[in-house]
Amino acid sequence: MIDEQQAQPEWLGKLRKNDRVTGSEALVRSLLLEGVETVFGIPGGSTLNIYDAIHDFPGFNHILARHEQGAIHAADGYARATGKVGVCFATSGPGATNLVTGIATANMDSVPLVVITGNVSTALIGTDAFQEADITGITMPISKHNYLVRDVNELPKIIHEAFYIASTGRKGPVVIDIPKDVSSQTMTYDYPTDRPQLRGYRPNNHPNGTQIEKLLAAIEAAERPVILAGAGIIYSDASKELLAFIEKTRIPVTTTLLGLGGFPSAHALWMGMPGMHGTYAANKALQNCDLLIGIGARFDDRVTMKTSGFAPKARTIAHIDIDPAEIGKIVQTAIPIVGDVKAVLQQLNVHAKPAKSEAWLAEIQANQLAHPLRYTDSEAELKPQFVVEMISETTHGDAIVTTDVGQHQMWAAQFYRFKHPRSLITSGGLGTMGFGLPSAIGAQVGSPDRLVVSVNGDGGIQMNAQELAICAIHNIPVKIVILNNQVLGMIRQWQELIYDNRFSHMDLSGSPDFVKLAEAYGVRGLRATNKEEARSVWQEALDTPGPVLIDFVISQDENVYPMVTPGSTIDDMIMGDER
């Protein structure tokens, strides 16, 4: 909630007044009292009362998206970059249903959002009224919680609860559906200040001491320990604690896609990313370890691949997670530790001792030296790996990088050297194309002092390219990178390697001229087709204070390696140049 000890604008002084207000004004007041800085959305008939109320609050920052999916992905990017709750608005019917993909994206990746939709008046609910949709029913399986507000007097309490639910325990999206008549009804405003007490909702942040002792004993006995760290490290702000734990225990670590940045990539004990497109060293370490410690990672299928063949030599698997439902769900767990990752690591660090891992570390280092990430560079054509390396070097690993989904996403994960948490923003669980650009907008709004680079494919960028308008109108200085190979790249790669070159409907040769498209929206557009041009236009983009789109034209035939094909174990890697 907002810190009322700090100096506030005059209009904030009236927020808590117990006067008569409409449901719409109650909503706006409540969001401001929760400390909401920016809302992304699009108005419609069922939310006009709310937008009318916004008019009376000059401090309420609303950014008008061009599509509801753009609005929710922007709120998502804002939440991931800042750690705060992202907020978006949409109207009833198609406005609300256009949010569904974004809600599912946030839910899969445990991102805190409060999603506010309008609905038809309560008397019309269930009558198939114009622009009516049962958004609470639709989103129940893909949200952490949702509300249909039928009593205006309940609205402040519901808003307060929603922010609490979204931001505690395993974070996630909460949907609040407000019928139009509720938004216009009046009430005596009173905003709760106490922590919500919700029946059946008691997140367990504090770990069991006995399980902590078991894990410490297992570390002392292990000779080949490995840590698999995921997004929970970042979401619990536990990066410093993880670094301290690893330096105390001398255990090598691999970070999942969503965990990238949670541990510094330059550290000698970091092995890279595991799984389908993971490094040779990380995958071999997971397959040969005798102790596996999962920290804030859910052992998803792109990490484990063939589950029955995952970590076969691990005598002990420990799993630390805030969500007890994740522990034992995928892999059999001997040491379950339920709790906030930061709190668990703090307790572990009190008594953590070095593992007997020196010979093991030497073996891992040898694997890293023998099988680094590599590609065949070229002076004749522009390689996507070179582009990502160039971006990483020129930004010194300090940028926030957002991606869409596909080959470019994996190249960014492999070749950008992340230094800090909350620096990679990508759709991991759902794999949502169209996520990259709007999430970059949200990240830049939330982190105005950081450079934000959005890495996209030429397929995904077209799914929400309309949000270029927001970049131009608000002069949001996102640097928008397109790795343009004129195909759906990951589809083409799978069809080559798994479907015997039976290429089917992956050709994007009818795509627009992205430079002209950017310029049509009022955004600077640049293009590069070779390394010299790439260096030149990228520096020009960095030197340009506003938004810039850079079209890097790359080969259709470049693949992401290493690659583990479905049905294989993670040590059965196709190595590309080495195959």
Q: Where are the beta strands (DSSP E) in 184-307?
A: 186-188, 225-229, 253-255, 291-295
Rounded CA separation 288/95 (Å): 50
- 37 carries an active-site annotation: no
Measured CA to CA in angstroms, residue 188 lies from 18, 122, 191, 194, 217 at distances of: 6, 21, 10, 18, 58
Residue entry with tokens 């969001």: 31
| The amino acid at 16 | R
| Annotated active-site residue in 490, 506, 563, 573 | 490
| Annotated active-site residue in 34, 40, 57, 68 | 68
CB 183 within 8 A of CB 155: no
| Annotated active-site residue in 144, 180, 383, 419 | 180
- 556 carries an active-site annotation: no
| Annotated active-site residue in 130, 353, 532, 575 | 130
SS3 345: helix
Rounded CA separation 209/337 (Å): 9
| Annotated active-site residue in 131, 211, 346, 466 | 131
Token pair listed for 278: 């993971």
Cis peptide before 384 (omega within 30 of 0): no
Q: Is 447 exposed, middle or buried (0-12, 13-18, 19+ CB in 10 A)?
A: middle
- 68 carries an active-site annotation: yes
CB 36 within 8 A of CB 64: no
| The amino acid at 164 | Y
CB within 8 A of 261, min separation 6: which ones? Answer: 234, 239, 255, 418, 419, 420, 421, 422, 423, 424
CB 435 within 8 A of CB 105: yes
The helix or strand, by DSSP H or E, that contains position 75, with its residue range, turns out to be helix 68-82
- 393 carries an active-site annotation: no
CB within 8 A of 393, min separation 6: which ones? Answer: none
DSSP string for 34-45? TT---EEE---G
CB 68 within 8 A of CB 117: no
Rounded CA separation 108/46 (Å): 28
Rounded CA separation 185/20 (Å): 10
Rounded CA separation 39/500 (Å): 47
Question: Active-site residue numbers?
Answer: 68, 130-131, 180, 490
